[in-house]
Chains A and B, each alone.
Chain A
């Protein structure tokens, strides 16, 4: 059922026959898909079908859970990610989490944290990075006078944009977002969506969303995941977002996007 409509685009990440197990429990079943470069790829599907597990495979965050075992390959720019050091990989593949998780540090320190960890010490360069990242995350105007304030003092939506800026500051190529707006109000959500749209120029974006409208509005490609009683999370259908939403090929996809289950 894999349908690579976007074969003409440059592929950033290529997933080949990927399986993932939490101990004996299989969470992902034989996923193969190409993620196009500089596009927004949305992952939708009912809760528990493995969306988070899937994107956390791209930066090998699943490995923090000792029982996790994987099979198959994930290729980033022609390189198998399981042969790259995870620390190096995560510099290239950034992540924004479901709940905003700024560090209990100042706004400045939150953004400078990544570049510092990667060895940048020069204060002036750090200042430049902080400003640039905050501008990219459309947060600069709101916080430029209070960079020494704690990141935790910001509103939820601002915190999430701070986390996006923090991810941008290490100059990744791919940004993974796991339901980045699910904890935010509609206005803040819309801001995040606009921001993501701007980011795709420079970054490849993979976003999990529980919200059908959001996927339809804010993505170029859509992957629909599902699971069954006796089957782990699997990829049902993938393609251009407009095709998936107007002309789904699979009956399950059609039922899901019309809100009949999930």
Chain B
């Protein structure tokens, strides 16, 4: 079949510019309507979830709820005081392990190995191994970190269900996040800062510590705050490493229960659904505050750096 080219040419010639424009405008309007609709639905759904949890949750929140410990058992009675404390302990412990390790790894990868990257030697292989692992780990479902933590820390190292087991497992969970955000932050530090420092006769470490890290600090802090959020929100990992004791942990080897775990246990094992919502409401508020903190701190930093 031979197409008649002259036909399509003729067809071209009869296009009415006014009609054509109106048609294209219509297409655009329909597309915009869809985009707006999608946006409105998404925002409405989110607001509904947050609104539902917070408004229902706040019904049970009062000073007593915050300051008494869970009664345990299937009744769901009591408050959440110990779970708040446990959450704080676990956040501090996890980040005390993960932040130095993660930042150190990123500094090693960005500052000390550029000359080896892609090279066929030991350091070159090591770096590509770290990069690949970090990428894979960042996408692994969190329960797998939990199983790993259970196998290695809880069972093999005999740390039992404890803050320490959970902190180590939590550190594994947030390590990829900290490494990645720190790496990105380090990569945005201009070469001219590094050269400026070295040209003054500083050692490489002085350059890293006194110029590069401070310049990358907003990005690094963002990564750390995101990790805090991750630990606060995590259930799967701690379900199999922290145990579930509602008592206040006495030491690193005590079992415990974070707020998120408490929500999970209340919802799955008791009939105190209202208290689960109350605890969730507090979790949501904390996450919102953390995000605000990221925004404010990065704005403060950029203000300071630009000197305005």
Which residues of A are interface residues toward B (Cβ below 8 A)?
A: 59, 61, 64, 66, 87-92, 94-95, 97, 99, 101-105, 113-114, 117-118, 149-154, 163, 166-167, 170
What number of residue pairs across chains A and B have CB atoms under 8 A from each other?
80
The bracket for how many chain B residues form the interface is: 20 to 34
Given contacts A61-B198, A87-B202, A114-B200, contact A152 B210 (CB under 8 A): no
27 A–B contacts, CB within 8 A, in A order: A61-B199, A64-B195, A64-B198, A66-B114, A91-B200, A91-B201, A94-B199, A95-B199, A101-B193, A101-B196, A103-B196, A113-B210, A114-B202, A117-B197, A117-B200, A117-B201, A117-B202, A117-B203, A149-B307, A150-B305, A150-B307, A151-B307, A152-B306, A153-B307, A153-B308, A166-B196, A170-B201
CB <8 Å contact, B200 and A103 = no
- In the assembled complex, how far is the CB of residue B198 from the closest CB belonging to chain A, in whole angstroms? 7
- In the assembled complex, how far is the CB of residue B303 from the closest CB belonging to chain A, in whole angstroms? 9
- In the assembled complex, how far is the CB of residue B289 from the closest CB belonging to chain A, in whole angstroms? 28
* Residue B214 interfacial (CB < 8 Å): yes
Could you say which of B115, B195, B201, B308 has the most chain A C-beta atoms within 10 Å of its C-beta?
A: B201
List residues of chain B with CB within 8 A of the CB of A118: 201
- In the assembled complex, how far is the CB of residue A10 from the closest CB belonging to chain B, in whole angstroms? 24
Given contacts A66-B115, A99-B192, A149-B307, contact A90 B199 (CB under 8 A): yes
CB <8 Å contact, B195 and A61 = yes
Which chain B residues in 172-230 approach chain A with CB under 8 Å? 190, 192-193, 195-203, 206, 210-211, 214-215
Which chain B residues in 42-97 approach chain A with CB under 8 Å? none
- In the assembled complex, how far is the CB of residue A71 from the closest CB belonging to chain B, in whole angstroms? 20
Instruction: Give the CA-CA distance A101 to B194 in the complex, in Å.
Output: 10
Out of B114, B115, B198, B305, name the residue touching A90 (CB < 8 Å). B198
* Residue B304 interfacial (CB < 8 Å): yes
CB <8 Å contact, A104 and B305 = yes
CB <8 Å contact, A170 and B195 = no
Instruction: Give the CA-CA distance A99 to B197 in the complex, in Å.
Output: 14
Which chain B residues in 232-260 approach chain A with CB under 8 Å? none
Instruction: Give the CA-CA distance A160 to B198 in the complex, in Å.
Output: 17
Instruction: Give the CA-CA distance A88 to B307 in the complex, in Å.
Output: 32
| Chain B residue, CB-CB nearest to A67 | B115
- In the assembled complex, how far is the CB of residue A19 from the closest CB belonging to chain B, in whole angstroms? 21
The 3 closest A-B pairs by CB, nearest first: A150-B307, A153-B307, A91-B201
